[in-house]
Amino acid sequence: MYKRIIRPLLFKFDPEEVHHFTFSALKNFGFLAKLFLPKPIVDKRLEREVFGLKFKNPVGLAAGFDKDAKLFNELSDLGFGFIEIGTLTPKAQAGNDKKRLFRLKEDSAIINRMGFNNGGVDEAIERLKKNKNVLIGGNIGKNKVTPNEEAVSDYKICFEKLFPYVDYFVVNVSSPNTPNLRELQDKKPLTELLSTLQNLNLAKPKQKPILLKIAPDLTDEQLLDIIDIIKETQIAGVIATNTTLSRENLVSENKSETGGLSGKPLTKRSTEVIRFLSEKSGKAFPIIGVGGIHTAQDAIEKLDAGASLVQLYTGFIYEGPELINEINQELLKRM
């Protein structure tokens, strides 16, 4: 129903306006979704225990969709095993100028240059206090006006404030839409950042997993550095991958727009990164696979490559909520 009726209608309008409309509709009329969408699969065999947390199934929603923790309960009701909110920054910020979100329909892709638009960590916390037992990841970043030399302070603020309200953390240094942010992926600043957060974590009575979200555009040498950094800082794992700056083999008219590309063009590269990290590290840490998952087979390939869990974003927009069930059904068949 989604791909035949709902998607063609939604795709007639500006993608960012559609996003806000969809949020409003789910918030106010989410109960109707239960009438028209397949019932989410609930099966004990789908449960996964990863970095000490129990996931009801391995299919999560990636960060960027519910930036401000406005809809995590409703989105969980669609069948997601976990919801990642953010990216959140210490202070609210408007993000980059509009227009900043573009569909590439012929490529089944999206380009965004949103720029960490969010209402700030404090506003999100007020909503997280109403969590109805949804497993939540908190994706954190720095404000645009904060220079890289002071970035650690922004991540510390978000970490400390969010700590009571999320189940795991994701350190986002790989978005291409905040100036110079990806420089924090270099070995020295990244080690300093992750070590600082891990020391804060270890000082708590009970620690929470810290994950690093990386770009798909890293070289093999840089990926080997990532493995070394994770082992050195003892953080829990990696999310592979964020959006890409590559524009290889695109055909849509929006292909020249600046920003991060997500969707089907990223499927192969994100899986390659997962496999590289898994094999070269000797499966030393869990990986959440994200990037170009549009079919159940795409998800299976990432799990076979070494991912413990997967996340959807662009595939969720193009394929609809049914994709969650399709992946879980395929996993059950494989059992």
Q: What is the 3 state secondary structure string of 276-296?
A: HHHHHHCCCCCEEEECCCCCH
| Residue in 76, 108, 174, 175 annotated catalytic | 175
Threshold 0.85, pTM exceeds: yes
pLDDT in the model for residue 189: 95
C-alpha span between 270 and 288 (Å, rounded): 11
Structure tokens at 159: 């970490």
116 labeled binding residue: yes
- Say if residue 27's pLDDT is above 90: no
**Cα-atom radius of gyration of the chain, to the nearest Å?**
18
pLDDT in the model for residue 38: 81
- Residues, the chain: 335
196 labeled binding residue: no
57 labeled binding residue: no
Across all residues in the chain, what is the average pLDDT?
96
79 labeled binding residue: no
For residues 39-46, give the mean pLDDT: 96
- Under 8 Å between Cβ of 34 and 321: no
For residues 246-264, give the mean pLDDT: 97
267 labeled binding residue: no
pLDDT in the model for residue 228: 97
- Say if residue 287's pLDDT is above 80: yes
What are the structural domains, with CATH classification, of the chain?
2-334 (3.20.20.70)
**β-strand 237-240 against 309-312: which pairing, if any?**
unpaired
- HSE of 233, CA atoms in CB hemisphere, 13 A: 29
314 labeled binding residue: yes
Binning pLDDT at 50, 70 and 90, where does residue 37 land?
A: confident
Binning pLDDT at 50, 70 and 90, where does residue 35 land?
A: confident
113 labeled binding residue: yes
Binning pLDDT at 50, 70 and 90, where does residue 164 land?
A: very high
Look up 175 and say whether it is catalytic: yes
Residue-wise DSSP of 13-74: S-HHHHHHHHHHHHHHHHHHHHHHSPPPP--GGG-EEETTEEESSSEEEPTTSSTTSSSHHH
* 148 CB-near residues (< 8 Å, 6+ apart): 180, 181, 183, 184, 189
Binning pLDDT at 50, 70 and 90, where does residue 252 land?
A: very high
263 labeled binding residue: yes
pLDDT tens digit sequence for 81-135: 999 999 999 999 999 999 999 999 999 999 999 999 999 999 999 999 999 899 9
65 labeled binding residue: yes
177 labeled binding residue: yes
